[in-house]
Amino acid sequence: MKLLFLIVFSCLFPQSQGNPFSNDNDGHQRTFEDIIEKEIAGYSEVAKKIINLAVYGKAQNRSYERLTLFVDTIGPRLSGSRNLELAIQYMYKALRKDGLENVHLEPVKIPHWERGKESALMVEPYNHSIAMLGLGGSIATPPEGITAEVLVVSSFDELHKKAQEAHGKIIVYNQRYINYGETVLYRSRGAVEAAKVGAKASLIKSIAPFSINSPHTGIQSYTSDVPKIPTACISVEDAEMMARMSSRGTKIIVTLKMGAKTYPQADSFNTVAEIVGSKYPEQVVLVSGHLDSWDVGQGAMDDGGGAFISWEALSLIKDLGLRPKRTLRLVLWTAEEQGGVGAEQYYQLHKVNISNFDVVMESDEGTFMPTGLAFKGSDKARNVIKEVMKLLKPINITNVFENGGGTDINYWIQDGIPGASLRDDITKYFWFHHSQGDTMTVQDPTEMNLCAAVWAVVSYVIADMEEKVPV
Ligand SMILES: *[C@@H]1O[C@H](CO)[C@@H](O)[C@H](O)[C@H]1NC(C)=O
Ligand SMILES: *[C@@H]1O[C@H](CO)[C@@H](O)[C@H](O)[C@H]1NC(C)=O
Ligand SMILES: *[C@@H]1O[C@H](CO)[C@@H](O)[C@H](O)[C@H]1NC(C)=O
Ligand SMILES: *[C@@H]1O[C@H](CO)[C@@H](O)[C@H](O)[C@H]1NC(C)=O
Ligand SMILES: [Zn+2]
């Protein structure tokens, strides 16, 4: 085990640097970890400079102010929309004006779906307007809508047990919220499961742990083996109300009207900017967030925050006159919400150079109070990241968590490239996620400063270390 370790790591060090495992002055053998610890500790002054600039200095609140102007100018940025096009043009100009290098757009084909006019009205047992949002990719109803009796179920299991009753009905899923990852299956597969038992439409309780009558949209997908039926999300309150009514045997009738349309694929772009590496310019540390959003709210949190702290990371490094050995590459993905569409095409195009990718980073789970970094990679790589995170001691954000990743960087992580994502206090994230509530009001400048400091220190130090993070 130990021997293998030495063989593997001696390959990482160029001959010219001598044998890194030579004995130190006391005759102790120096391990890879010793060397890394010493090298990384050497960055403590530069880390403090980055932190000071981001949190206390001239760049204080900059990512927040930039994001405010951006979302108030452009609004939400749905895949295929004019707003998203304008957002990309806006960022292209802003990144150039900021003095970043190699600012360019990489073409991508993306889905174009629009919700159109839509409504859901409960007409029995009494008239009640249901707060709803069509789910991404849903088909429309006929113009007069679909009026049908509701069958409320609390799970796919219950739906399958009640399959005989489901024919011709509108299925309302009143699933329990466990966590986003598990519960979101009701959004992505709800329509297909309902169609399998002959339902005319499906409505899901929004995938959210908290609600003030807010529907939360998101992508869903059809399969080719069952008919496509219209599908939407409704508020937690309305789903629970209908569940109570139905448990008392009350007959519920709903009229659902949806004018959704799917258009041919649209032209879009991933937006790229760099600080070119001084010594290994072909090697890349990728820092990213997505520029598209849903068509409700302002997309300030998902993922304006992640996109703008990623930009901020490069701005901070540039402003300090730093140029890491490797290239720091900012990518603002397009059409993440449609299933990582921009990121997938980026991966397909650039994977020929995969051996030059060092670490891929994405922030897409909020930019609230940061708690650390989530990392995915080998144990050796994790040890490096743990040392890097010690540099954030001045702001006490040193944790390294398991399971780093994100929709847009998972393509690389699956191929063995180490991946990191920002961890923050996610409590509020799913309150606002994909809803009208995702506005600038939920963002906080002080929290964004701290997120940007973590993002900049980590990306800079990794990009500047003599060796790539081991895979
Ligand atoms: C940054 O935002 C905080 C919180 O709103 C505020 O107290 C502070 O004055 C702002 N700093 C600058 C430089 O605008
Ligand atoms: C309920 O709504 C329908 C459709 O908008 C309307 O025709 C009907 O008059 C309403 N019923 C009551 C009792 O308000
Ligand atoms: C691959 O890397 C080389 C060297 O940096 C570069 O010239 C080339 O454009 C890259 N190709 C792609 C598809 O990224
Ligand atoms: C540092 O953060 C930890 C949680 O990560 C917390 O328990 C501790 O109180 C914090 N210390 C300071 C000085 O803020
Ligand atoms: Zn997102």
Ordered by where they begin, the domains of the chain are 40-112+264-464 (3.40.630.10), 116-259 (3.50.30.30)
Is 396's C-beta closer than 6 angstroms to any atom of ligand 4?
yes
Q: How far is the CA of 370 from the centre of ligand 4 (A)?
A: 12
C-alpha angle 257-259-264 in degrees, rounded to nearest 5:
150
Q: Whose CA is nearest to atom 13 of ligand 2?
A: 127
Give Cα 422 to chain centroid, integer Å: 10
pLDDT of residue 34: 83
Q: How far is the CA of 53 from the centre of ligand 4 (A)?
A: 22
Report the nearest atom of ligand 4 relative to the CA of 398.
5
Q: Is the pLDDT of residue 21 over 60?
A: no
Q: Whose CA is nearest to atom 1 of ligand 3?
A: 353
**Which protein residues are within 6 Å of ligand 3, measured from CB?**
282, 349-350, 352-353
Q: In angstroms, rounded to a whole number, what is the distance separating the alpha carbons of residues 81 and 87?
A: 10
pLDDT of residue 7: 34
Q: Whose CA is nearest to atom 9 of ligand 2?
A: 127
**Which protein residues are within 6 Å of ligand 2, measured from CB?**
123, 127
Report the nearest atom of ligand 2 relative to the CA of 126.
13
Query: Ligand 2: which of 119, 127, 256 to mutate, most ligand atoms within 8 Å of CB?
Result: 127
pLDDT in tens, 117-155: 999 999 999 999 999 999 999 999 999 999 999 999 999
Q: How far is the CA of 124 from the centre of ligand 2 (A)?
A: 10
pLDDT in tens, 324-350: 999 999 999 999 999 999 999 999 999
**Residues making up the chain, counted from first to last:** 471
Q: Whose CA is nearest to atom 2 of ligand 4?
A: 396
In sequence order, the β-bridge partners of residue 113 are: 262
What is the average per-residue pLDDT within 21-44? Answer: 76
Report the nearest atom of ligand 1 relative to the CA of 61.
1
Q: How confident is the model at residue 62 (pLDDT cuts 50, 70, 90)?
A: very high
Q: Whose CA is nearest to atom 3 of ligand 4?
A: 396
pLDDT of residue 18: 39
How much of the chain exceeds pLDDT 90, in percent? 92
Q: Is the pLDDT of residue 104 over 50?
A: yes
Ligand found nearest the CA of 355: 3
**Which protein residues are within 6 Å of ligand 1, measured from CB?**
60-61, 445-446
Q: How far is the CA of 233 from the centre of ligand 2 (A)?
A: 23
The pTM of this model reads 0.93
Report the nearest atom of ligand 1 relative to the CA of 60.
13
Query: Ligand 3: which of 286, 353, 357 to mutate, most ligand atoms within 8 Å of CB?
Result: 353
Say whether the peptide bond before residue 14 is cis (omega within 30 degrees of 0).
no
Q: Is the pLDDT of residue 294 over 50?
A: yes
3-state helix, strand, coil in the chain (%, to 5): 40, 25, 35
Q: How far is the CA of 447 from the centre of ligand 4 (A)?
A: 15
Q: Is 336 a catalytic residue?
A: yes
pLDDT in tens, 185-221: 999 999 999 999 999 999 999 999 999 999 999 999 9
What 8-state DSSP symbol labels residue 53?
A: I
Report the nearest atom of ligand 3 relative to the CA of 356.
2
Tally of helices (H runs) and strands (E runs) in the chain: 16, 16
Contact by Cβ (8 Å): 270, 307: no
pLDDT in tens, 430-467: 999 999 999 999 999 999 999 999 999 999 999 999 99
- In terms of C-beta density within 10 A (0-12 exposed, 13-18 middle, 19 or more buried), how is residue 221 classed? middle
Q: How confident is the model at residue 2 (pLDDT cuts 50, 70, 90)?
A: very low
Q: Whose CA is nearest to atom 14 of ligand 3?
A: 350
pLDDT of residue 32: 81
Q: How far is the CA of 145 from the centre of ligand 2 (A)?
A: 15
Q: Is the pLDDT of residue 25 over 80?
A: no
Could you please report the per-residue DSSP string of 320-333?
A: TT---SEEEEEEEE
Answer with the residue of higher pLDDT: 136 or 33: 136
Answer with the residue of higher pLDDT: 27 or 336: 336
Residue from 118, 336, 365, 387 carrying the catalytic annotation: 336
Query: Ligand 1: which of 52, 55, 58, 61 to mutate, most ligand atoms within 8 Å of CB?
Result: 61
What is the average per-residue pLDDT within 298-302? Answer: 98
pLDDT of residue 466: 95
pLDDT of residue 27: 57
- In terms of C-beta density within 10 A (0-12 exposed, 13-18 middle, 19 or more buried), how is residue 187 classed? buried
pLDDT of residue 144: 98
Q: Whose CA is nearest to atom 8 of ligand 3?
A: 353
Answer with the residue of higher pLDDT: 6 or 37: 37
Query: Ligand 2: which of 121, 122, 123, 144 to mutate, most ligand atoms within 8 Å of CB?
Result: 123
Average per-residue pLDDT for the chain: 94
Q: How far is the CA of 349 from the centre of ligand 3 (A)?
A: 10
pLDDT of residue 145: 98
What is the average per-residue pLDDT within 230-244? Answer: 98
Q: Is the pLDDT of residue 8 over 50?
A: no
Q: How confident is the model at residue 26 (pLDDT cuts 50, 70, 90)?
A: low
Q: In angstroms, rounded to a whole number, what is the distance separating the alpha carbons of residues 246 and 366?
A: 37
Q: How far is the CA of 457 from the centre of ligand 3 (A)?
A: 26
Q: How far is the CA of 270 from the centre of ligand 3 (A)?
A: 16
Report the nearest atom of ligand 3 relative to the CA of 281.
5
